[in-house]
Amino acid sequence: MRGLSVINQKVAWASGMKGTVIRTIDGEHWQDVSVAASDPQAATLDFRDIQGFDAMSAIAMSAGPGKASTLYKTTDGGVHWERLSVNSDETGFWDAIDFWDARHGAVLGDPVDGQFKIMLTEDGGKSWAAAKLKPSSDGKSGLEAQANEGAFAASGTCLIVQGKKVIRFVSGSAEHSRAFYSNDRGQTWASSVTPVTAGAPPKGLFSIAFADAKHGLAVGGDYQQAKGEGLNAVRTDDGGKTWTSAAALPKGFLSVVVNIPGQGKMYVAGGLAGLGLTRDQGKTWQVMSEIPVNSVAFADTKIAWAVGPKGLLLRYLGPDLRKLK
């Protein structure tokens, strides 16, 4: 299980391998609403990310080479799923999906012909088109990739959107780990190098989260070294233009970081190393758990879920994160 979307204290969606999607509408019991039950062709797909809109509607994104990257949508609570889109780039690989609202969203794909792919929808996912890039004076789009650079479809959080127009994503595997951002829905792009080590396929940044326009965190590491040494988190106070070290606890590989709704500088990071909490945007951390997870998402400071290897599903029931000791 890797995809997770929490709507509120009672409604959440999660997704994973073999066409799997599950849903809760009471915060306690989960229903199997797998895409594979609606479309047998989805039985081999790995749904790495899911975007829930409410108790009845969600879009599930599978990740894989070429046509293994797909988008499916349900509007009846998972009884039926409609296939919206299939990756037409044979060398492409979709990594994450996120939405500003029910109609406007973005999908991030690994580089094709040396450039990261950003696709946008304005009709709730029915149709998708490549972002209309405006090259800079040197003719570059800002999405040019380093040799071997890519994003990680580890938790569905390597890409996020903010406000009405901001898109952000992080990368790894190449010489440097980088953080990319666009303030105009993907037309123009800038990026910055971060201190997190990359340089090999399993290393780099895996997830990014922001509390507001300026303050954010990104996490990662080496996914082959769950308890490995090395920097696993960075922070920014200028909207992603520059990043500084913010070594997270627990030490090791972290695949997801989320800002707690309405809590400013409070974030939770998770991964195969476990789960950690910071109340000061990464300056100090405390370990919450050492259970390996892939993704985590919070409804508020008291209710959350996490998903992980071998079908793991965890529910957090407090104490209130503001009072956790």
Domains in the chain: ranges and CATH? 96-316 (2.130.10.10)
Which pLDDT does position 197 carry in this prediction?
Answer: 94
- pLDDT at res. 267: 98
Q: What is the pLDDT of residues 253-281, one digit of tens each?
A: 999 999 999 999 999 999 999 999 999 99
Read off the tokens for 158: 């390597």
Q: Give the H/E segment covering residue 115.
A: strand 115-121
Distance, first Cα to last Cα, the chain? 29
At residue 40, what are phi and psi to the nearest 5 degrees?
-55, -25
What's the rounded Cα separation, in Å, for the pair 28 and 207?
A: 27
What pLDDT score was predicted for residue 242?
98
Check residue 136 and give its pLDDT. 87
Per-residue pLDDT of the chain (325 residues; tens, 9 = 90+): 999 999 999 999 999 999 999 999 999 999 999 999 999 999 999 999 999 999 999 999 999 999 999 999 999 999 999 999 999 999 999 999 999 999 999 999 999 999 999 999 999 999 999 999 999 888 899 999 999 999 999 999 999 999 999 999 999 999 999 999 999 999 999 999 999 999 999 999 999 999 999 999 999 999 999 999 999 999 999 999 999 999 999 999 999 999 999 999 999 999 999 999 999 999 999 999 999 999 999 999 999 999 999 999 999 988 999 988 7
Rounded to whole angstroms, the Cα distance separating 264 from 268 reads 12
- H and E: helices and strands count for the chain: 1, 27
Q: Rounded to an integer, what distance in angstroms lies between the CA atom of residue 285 and that of residue 233?
A: 11
Give the pLDDT score at 317.
87
Residue 22: name the closest of 45, 44, 1, 53 by CA.
Answer: 1
